[in-house]
Amino acid sequence: MRTLRVGIASYEQMKARTIAIARGEYRPAADEPKVWFTSAESFARVLSDRNRVLLATIAESAPESLTQLAELTGRKKSNLSRTLKTMERYGFLHLVRGARGSVAPRVRYQRISLTLPLSAPRRVGTKAA
């Protein structure tokens, strides 16, 4: 079963990590998150209950087009397109170009695992409570 690991980090933390990796100062472990969000709230917006049902529908039915997916889910094609592009940007699915310009979504993972810090990252200029 393929699992996508997701983490929460501030923009500054993600930037510092990326620079350290690029400089060769840090090598991520295989079990570290591959996708990062800046807050638990942003993660929850992308993977809302409704969007998790959408991913499950895609995984189970493998629709051949957005039109077919819209029929299966009762969602508007334009809204689906926007949601799927966001999910693709985070690596949750892949949009495959089909015949006659159709787009078919394909789920890449069976599970998504969230690594969530117990405390929010400190803001610059504030003291820890």
CATH code assigned at 63: 1.10.10.10
pLDDT tens for each residue of 99-129:
788 899 999 999 999 988 776 555 444 444 4
124 in a structural domain: no
Sheet strand arrangement including 35-37: 35-37, 3-8, 111-115
CB-side neighbour CA atoms (13 Å) of 36: 13
Q: In the chain, how many H helices and how many E strands?
A: 5, 5
* Domains identified in the chain, total number: 1
Structural tokens at position 102: 């159709």
Distance (Å, rounded) from C-alpha 84 to C-alpha 44?
15
Structural tokens at position 108: 């890449």
Strand partners, 8: 37
Structural tokens at position 109: 């993972």
Residue 117: predicted pLDDT: 75
30 in a structural domain: yes
Residue span of the structural domain in which 78 resides: 3-115
27 in a structural domain: yes
22 in a structural domain: yes
40 in a structural domain: yes
pLDDT tens for each residue of 52-70:
999 999 999 999 999 999 9
